[in-house]
Amino acid sequence: MSNPEQQTSFRDLTVDEIQKLIESGDYEVVDVREGWERERGHIPSSRHVVLSRILANPGALQFKDHTIFVCEVGERSSVASEMAVALGVNDVVNFRGGHKAWREAGLPLEKGL
């Protein structure tokens, strides 16, 4: 018997799968790294919301259905993904490998905030 209160989990996807989702135009990318990390380079058109802001007041931020959370390697973004699922966001994706995998794949980055 299934638990009716059980939340659907998020998906853990790698760089190739993430790139396809971004190219589809249907997903918002949320970068949860610190500002100094983001300044060194981030996925173009990503939104910046530091993980500590999400944890401090989860209900104050709005996340769209079809959101990809990304950090440097996928740990902080998995925490953000769990929070988004708990807030009722549908189709949440954690970018496993994060910006490190994005850079290693030679994909474009924007500099600055």
Query: Across all residues in the chain, what is the average pLDDT?
Result: 92
How much is the pLDDT for 22? 97
Give the domain range for residue 35: 27-104
| Segment 5-29, tens digit of pLDDT | 445 699 999 999 999 999 999 999 9
Q: Are strands 67-70 and 11-13 parallel, antiparallel or unpaired?
A: unpaired
- Is residue 40 included in any domain, yes or no? yes
- Is residue 113 included in any domain, yes or no? no
CATH of the domain at 87: 3.40.250.10
- Is residue 17 included in any domain, yes or no? no
| Segment 79-113, tens digit of pLDDT | 999 999 999 999 999 999 999 999 999 999 999 87
Stated pTM of the model: 0.92
- Is residue 38 included in any domain, yes or no? yes
How much is the pLDDT for 8? 63
- Is residue 11 included in any domain, yes or no? no
Is a pLDDT exceeding 50 seen at residue 2? no
Residue 21 makes CB contacts below 8 A (sequence gap 6+) with 13, 27, 68, 93
- Is residue 67 included in any domain, yes or no? yes
Task: Report the number of distinct structural domains present in the chain.
Answer: 1
